[in-house]
């Protein structure tokens, strides 16, 4: 099927063609016609499936059809995302696909000064992409008017629940018009997501392009068993032996990300860490340098990595397994995108055996195990409780769903602070 058959107008088709896309992805093929019928949808799709364009294109199409002649540059569409990085990616998608349309958009998140956002809002915008905390700041200061919103999109809603944003979402929705179209996109499809949709969506159409909580089939997964103290040595060995040029590495904590990045630099491997304590400018520069190939390794925490969108990222490494099993699916979804194959490697010590069992239970498959010569773990070492970096009650307890880790330090400074075809 071509994009033209989905019912998109010429300005959007032109923008899609300029990006080099000819055929919609499954989520786009299923979601776009339903959205254009002005129906609410509940869409379960993993990262890397093209879901951003799956809601951006029909949203822009419906805005152009409505014309809104008497309401020029008033907020008609609102996109909520869990993190700054993802908000910036969505904003980029809107700019790319809407380049031949007259609509103005703005991205709103914490960690940067609020005044430029206020100025942009006063000038008038049609589309707002925001994280919940900073949006509530604008609502409380009466610097944004959401009374004309026709479209609400909740992107990566599962992550917003994980991060404890459910009450913030409810506060935002409370000020929106009741007559609106609501689209909920989620990488995983849990009972908590169903509950959220029952509250805010009207007779939604269910769209699922991958089974709930499954790992991507085009990602080659492997577990390397290794002692905790030799993980960095093994990682360096794998990068050098495999001549890996672009690697996304996940750690469990911000301190761990900083420490590992520094160690890799000492090993002669260019690296930078991104996490919630880094300034937005530092995070943006790190991501840009990584995409451009200026650095080989980007070390990230789960929260900071949301929104990283690189079509051909070949390698993802779980330096430490996540204690929330669903985060494993999110992590490895960073590779194997756009039909490309990818490799996801997990370095697992004896302390993490419970986490591994929980992950394999969730994805309903055994991940291939590797014991590399020279790095085989010492069988005399016993498992120890894992310090979760301040998550009280989270020691050595694999958890999933909404009851997963809600790291208050990663909550995106609630009140302070490439699109796929």
Q: What is the pTM of this model?
A: 0.62
| CA dihedral (241, 247, 252, 254) positive or negative | positive
User: How far separated are the first and last CA of the chain, in Å rounded?
Assistant: 13
Residue 384's SS3 state is coil
Q: What is the pLDDT of residue 48?
A: 66
Find the helix or strand (DSSP H, E) in which 130 lies: strand 127-130
| pLDDT, position 402 | 33
Model confidence over 165-196: pLDDT tens digits? 889 999 999 999 999 999 998 876 677 888 88
Lowest average pLDDT, out of 274-283, 325-334, 410-419, goes to 410-419
Q: How far apart are CA 276 and CA 413, in angstroms?
A: 9
Q: Where in the chain is the domain with CATH 3.40.50.300?
A: 3-208, 219-402
Q: What is the pLDDT of residue 365?
A: 86
Q: Which CATH class, in words, describes the domain spanning 3-208?
A: alpha beta
Q: Which residue stretches of 187-345 are H helix?
A: 191-200, 231-241, 254-266, 280-291, 302-305, 325-332
Dig out the tokens for 213 from the structure. 């909580």
Q: Tokens 């009280």, residue?
A: 392
d(CA 291, CA 284): 11
Q: Whose CA is closest to 260, among 297, 285, 288?
A: 297
Enter the tokens of residue 417.
């602070």
CA–CA gap between residue 416 and residue 421 (Å, rounded): 34
| CATH superfamily placement of domain 219-402 | P-loop containing nucleotide triphosphate hydrolases (3.40.50.300)
Tokens matching residue 256: 């761990």
**Lowest mean pLDDT: which of 52-61, 208-217, 399-408?**
399-408
Q: Cβ distance 94 to 416 under 8 Å?
A: no
pLDDT reported for residue 218? 67
Mean pLDDT calculated for residue range 95-115: 93
């Amino acid at each position: 099927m071509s994009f033209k058959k989905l019912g998109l107008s010429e300005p959007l088709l032109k923008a899609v063609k300029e990006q080099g896309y000819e055929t919609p992805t499954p989520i786009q093929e299923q979601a776009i016609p339903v959205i254009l019928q002005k129906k609410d949808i509940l869409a379960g799709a993993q990262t890397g499936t093209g879901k951003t364009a799956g809601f951006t294109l029909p949203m822009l199409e419906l805005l152009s059809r409505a014309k809104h002649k008497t309401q020029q540059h008033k907020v008609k569409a609102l996109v909520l995302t869990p993190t700054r990085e993802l908000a910036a990616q969505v904003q980029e998608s809107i700019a790319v696909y809407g380049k031949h349309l007259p609509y103005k958009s703005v991205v709103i998140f914490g960690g940067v000064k609020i005044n430029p956002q206020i100025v942009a809002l006063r000038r008038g915008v049609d589309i707002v992409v925001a994280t919940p905390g900073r949006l509530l700041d604008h609502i409380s200061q009466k610097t944004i008017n959401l009374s004309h919103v026709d479209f609400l999109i909740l992107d990566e809603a599962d992550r917003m629940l994980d991060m404890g944003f459910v009450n913030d979402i409810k506060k935002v929705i409370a000020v929106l018009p009741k007559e609106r179209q609501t689209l909920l996109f989620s990488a995983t499809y849990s009972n908590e997501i169903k509950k959220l949709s029952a509250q805010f969506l009207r007779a939604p159409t269910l769209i699922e392009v991958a089974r709930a909580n499954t790992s991507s089939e085009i990602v080659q997964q492997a577990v390397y068993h290794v002692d905790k103290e030799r993980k960095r040595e093994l990682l360096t060995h794998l990068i050098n032996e495999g001549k890996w040029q672009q690697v996304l590495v996940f750690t469990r904590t911000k301190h761990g990300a900083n420490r590992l990045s520094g160690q890799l630099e000492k090993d002669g491997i260019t690296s930078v860490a991104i996490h919630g304590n880094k300034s937005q400018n530092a995070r943006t520069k790190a991501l840009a340098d990584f995409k451009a190939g200026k650095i080989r390794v980007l070390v990230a925490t789960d929260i900071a990595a949301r929104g990283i969108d690189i079509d051909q990222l070949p390698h993802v490494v779980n330096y430490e397994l996540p204690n929330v099993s669903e985060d494993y699916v999110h992590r490895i979804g960073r590779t194997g995108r756009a039909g490309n194959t990818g490799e996801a490697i997990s370095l697992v010590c004896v302390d993490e055996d419970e986490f591994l069992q929980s992950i394999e239970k969730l994805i309903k498959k055994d991940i291939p195990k590797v014991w590399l010569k020279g790095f085989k773990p010492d069988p005399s070492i016993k498992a120890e409780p894992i310090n979760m970096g301040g998550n009280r009650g989270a020691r050595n307890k694999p958890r999933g769903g909404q009851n997963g880790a809600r790291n208050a330090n990663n909550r995106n400074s609630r009140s302070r602070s490439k699109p796929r075809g």
